[in-house]
Structure 1
Amino acid sequence: GEIRPTTETSGINSFDLIKKYAFENALYVDAEQQISDNFSVSYGLRMSSFLRLGQDELNVYENDEAVVFNQDLQIYEKARPIGTESSNRSDVIESFLNFEPRFSMSYQLNQNTAVKASYNRMSQYLHLLSNTSSPTPLDVWAPSGNFIKPQLLDQFAIGYFKTIQNDAYSLEIESFYKTIQNRIDYIDGADLIANNAIEQIVLNGRSRAYGLEILLRKNEGAFKGWLAYTLSKSEQQTPGRTPLETGINNGEWYSTPWDKTHDISLTASYKVSEKWSFSSNFIFQTGLPVTFPNGQYVYNGLSVPSFESRNASRLPSYHRLDVSAIYNPKPDSTKRWKGEWVFSIYNAYNRRNAASIDFRQNRNTGQNEAVRLAIFGIIPSVTYNFKF
Structure 2
Amino acid sequence: MRHTWRWFGPIDRVSVRDAAQAGAEGIVSALHHIATGEVWPIEDIACRHAEIQQGGLVWDVVESVPVSEEIKTQTADWRRHVQNWQETLRRLSDTGIKTVCYNFMPVLDWTRTDLRWDTRHGAKAMRFDLAEFVAFDLFILKRPGAEEDYPEPLREDAARSFSTMSDAKIAALGKNIGAGLPGSADGYTLDQLLEKLRAYRGIGRERLQQHLVDFLSEVTPVAEEVGINICAHPDDPPWPLLGLPRILSTAEDYAHMLKQVDSRANGMTFCTGSLGARGDNDLPAMARRFADRIHFVHLRNVTRDTDDLPCSFFEDEHLEGGTDMVAVIAELLAEEARRRAAGRVDHRIPMRPDHGQEILDDLVRQAQPGYPAIGRLKGLAELRGIERTLAHPHYGLRN
The verdict on a shared fold, with TM-score over 0.5 as the criterion, is no
Structure with more strand by fraction: 1
Give me the TM-score of the superposition, normalised by structure 1. Answer: 0.25
Structure with bigger RCO (C-alpha 8 Å, 6+ apart): 2
TM-score (norm 2): 0.25
